[in-house]
Structure 1
Amino acid sequence: MENEFAKVMSERTDEELIKIVTVERERYNTTAIEAADAEVEKRNIDTSEFVKIREKATAEKEQKQKVDSNVVGSGIRFVNLLIDFIVWLVLAFIISFVIGLFVQPTDQGMISLIGYILIFGTFIAYYAIMEIKFQKTIGKFVTKTKVVKMNREKPTDGDIMTRTFCRLIPFDRLSFLFVNNGIHDFLSKTKVVKDNVE
């Protein structure tokens, strides 16, 4: 077993080893720590790097714990869903009404096509524009929540687009009732947290 730990630790980077023997020490059993200590000594890693890496890892760990403790629950997610659903329906109705003033298709197939485009277009546009611009939708403004990446940073436009299109997955809208992060959160590597988290 000891040889196994030695082999595993020999494959770690210097930074990973430093994290293991400092900040993450309590996560490993004593044999693994001894193997990591031996590998640090064998590589003759400069211990002055320990302080810098330990401080960085500790800050990251504290920030992650702070954000994780502020992940919102299913109740708030459900309120967000209801508010955003109502806003989306109103938006789709207004846009379809305005388009109906100017376009009078006579073909039933054309009416259906325009209807589908309006439904999906307003859905995608609503979530994408709101979350790219503000990190929130109207529902999240009301509940004082926002979208962040798993690493606590502001999501990129690509993250939001992935998140938005993943909402079209069947049963995605109900997945957050069973876990804090729903399917669209998981696949886009985002989470919804209370607004006061930096």
Structure 2
Amino acid sequence: MNTDFKEVMSKRTDDELIKIVTIDKGKYQPLAIEVAEEEIKKRNIDTSKFEQVKVDLTAKITEQEEFEAKKVSSLTRFLNFIIDLIVWFIIVAILTNSLNAKDPVQMLFGYFIFFVSYISYYAFMETKFQKTIGKFITKTKVVNKDGTKPQGGDILRRTFCRLIPFDRISFLFTPNGFHDRLSDTIIIKD
């Protein structure tokens, strides 16, 4: 078992080893801590670095926890969906108002308007504002998983992933719906 820990600890970076013997000490078996300490001695890692690495890592962990706390609930996401659906229906109603439902060509054009307006609504709003009307109302926004503003390609991927069957209910079963997971985006409080 000791040799297993040696192999694992030998592959860790200096900062990871310092984290193991300081911040994460309670998460590891005593034997693993002992092997990590041996690896630190073997590498001649300056123990004066410990405090700075510990401070940096603690700040990073705190920042990540604060970011995680900003994630929104499934209920808020469902509310965003309902509001955006209503807004989109209004847009479609305005755009297709003059079409004759009995004319097959106009009906086909109506379907085209449905598709294009759906993609355009989400792509434009989330690229320009990081929000749709629903997100404006619920004071939420879309960001990349690392908290940065998504690029146009991220939003376009996210928007097309919304067309996946059952995407709208997928967030009820997973922390992020299909369109979030596949585009590496999340919704957070603004």
When normalised by structure 1's length, the TM-score is 0.83
Contact 1:64-1:151 at 8 Å conserved across structures: no
SS of residue paired to 1:71: coil
2:142 to 143, 147, 153: 147
Report how far residue 80 of structure 1 moved. 0.4
Counterpart CA distance in 1 for 2:97 and 2:80 is: 26
Q: In the alignment, which residue of structure 1 is the partner of 2:155?
A: 160
Say whether 1:11 aligns with 2:6: no
Q: CA 1:52 to 1:155, structure 2 compared with 1: closer, same or farther past 3 Å?
A: farther
> How many pairs are equivalent?
189
Determine which structure has greater relative contact order: mean sequence separation of CA pairs < 8 Å that are 6+ residues apart, divided by chain length.
1
Match of 1:184, as an amino acid? H
Match of 2:35, as an amino acid? A
Q: In the alignment, which residue of structure 1 is the partner of 2:125?
A: 130
Counterpart CA distance in 2 for 1:83 and 1:31 is: 55
SS of residue paired to 2:65: helix
Deviations 1:91-128 (A, max 9, x none): 22333448x5xxx9x983x4455334322221121112
RMSD: 2.4
When normalised by structure 2's length, the TM-score is 0.86
Q: Structure 2: 5+ residue runs without aligned partners? A: none
Residues 18-29 of structure 1 correspond to what in structure 2 (within 5 A)? 18-29=18-29
Counterpart CA distance in 2 for 1:113 and 1:18 is: 64
Q: Which consecutive aligned stretches of 4+ in structure 1 deviate over 4 angstroms post-superposition?
A: none
Contact 1:92-1:119 at 8 Å conserved across structures: yes
Q: In the alignment, which residue of structure 2 is the partner of 1:83?
A: 83
Match of 1:157, as an amino acid? G
Q: CA 1:2 to 1:166, structure 2 compared with 1: closer, same or farther past 3 Å?
A: same
Report how far residue 194 of structure 1 moved. 1.5
Q: CA 1:116 to 1:16, structure 2 compared with 1: closer, same or farther past 3 Å?
A: farther
Deviations 1:152-178 (A, max 9, x none): 222232322222121111101011123
Match of 2:144, as an amino acid? K
Contact 1:72-1:180 at 8 Å conserved across structures: no
Say whether 1:70 aligns with 2:95: no
Q: CA 1:60 to 1:158, structure 2 compared with 1: closer, same or farther past 3 Å?
A: farther
Report how far residue 23 of structure 1 moved. 2.9
Contact 1:71-1:180 at 8 Å conserved across structures: no
2:173 to 165, 178, 186: 178
Counterpart CA distance in 1 for 2:162 and 2:106 is: 25
Counterpart CA distance in 2 for 1:157 and 1:47 is: 45
Q: Structure 1: 5+ residue runs without aligned partners? A: none
Q: CA 1:9 to 1:145, structure 2 compared with 1: closer, same or farther past 3 Å?
A: same
Report how far residue 28 of structure 1 moved. 2.1
Deviations 1:33-84 (A, max 9, x none): 2222211211112334434433332222112211222221121111100000
Counterpart CA distance in 1 for 2:186 and 2:72 is: 9
Match of 1:146, as an amino acid? K
SS of residue paired to 1:188: coil
Match of 2:39, as an amino acid? E
Say which is worse superposed, 42-51 or 181-190, in terms of deviation: 42-51
Q: CA 1:16 to 1:161, structure 2 compared with 1: closer, same or farther past 3 Å?
A: farther
